[in-house]
Structure 1
């Protein structure tokens, strides 16, 4: 997000977007970073049956979009399992569906980072985020 100071419409939009995803997942904790490169972390309540000893998280960044991850045993790093793909800012409902599929027997998403965009690029991304800052959260 170009020229972010944490107070602009794009930064507010990012917070609202991540909040909408967190609410849809009933995430117990989340945070987002609005500086370039923007990113977010959502803790998820349940562990994956294939990784019962690892906490599960959902990550977002402005280059690759959403990714499902597990925390390493020491808790100091995360290991990405799959990227949602499709769009760097998919509707929150799409992200919720991705997570639901992750907890099922499916292996949703893609293994490689999608590399949607370069952080800070003037490509309309800030405007898309800013749409989430208004009264129409979730409907950019």
Structure 2
């Protein structure tokens, strides 16, 4: 189980993983929560042609992995367009390919949540996250957590 105090290797690994994905996508902002279930939000710079009036983002959670979303008309909610599927922690390059497919109107991913795992299940997830932590200290730009 992710050490929910934010100091454990899995929590540090989650932040490093998200930082790697955000860097690959040149995401202007991102944040994560390590409370059960762990979640993340990455703002994307570009808007989708089919939703020109709505901000585009990537969502991640420890149950379903990555999803592409747009903000609702009010900006208070997000509407999921597609789930990447395949794995709850795919390589950052796979996430980048998913995003490129969205902008190319390839309609990548799948419409339904993949439901990969249950938060807290002893399935090796925390160890996979901890592998991203390495020995590096996470340095976050101001306003990101």
| TM-score tier (shorter) | over 0.9
* 1:54-65 equivalence runs, <5 A: 54-65=54-65
- How high is the TM-score relative to the length of structure 2? 0.91
TM-score (norm 1): 0.94
**Counterpart of 2:50?**
50
Shift of 1:2: 3.9
| Ranges of 4+ aligned residues in structure 1 off by more than 2 Å | 1-4
Listed as ranges, the gaps of 5+ residues in structure 1 are none
Q: 5 Å matches for 1:43-122? A: 43-122=43-122
The count of corresponding residues between Structure 1 and Structure 2 is 136
8 A Cα contact 1:4 1:10, kept in partner: no
Give the CA RMSD over aligned residues.
1.1
Are 2:27 and 1:33 equivalent residues in the alignment? Answer: no
- 1:9–1:133 CA contact under 8 A, matched in 2: yes
Does 2:22 match 1:12? no
| 8 Å contact from structure 2 (residues 30, 42) kept in 1 | yes
User: How far is the alpha carbon of 1:135 from its aligned partner?
Assistant: 5.0
Distance 1:107 1:7 in 2: 37
Unaligned runs of 5+ in 2: 137-145
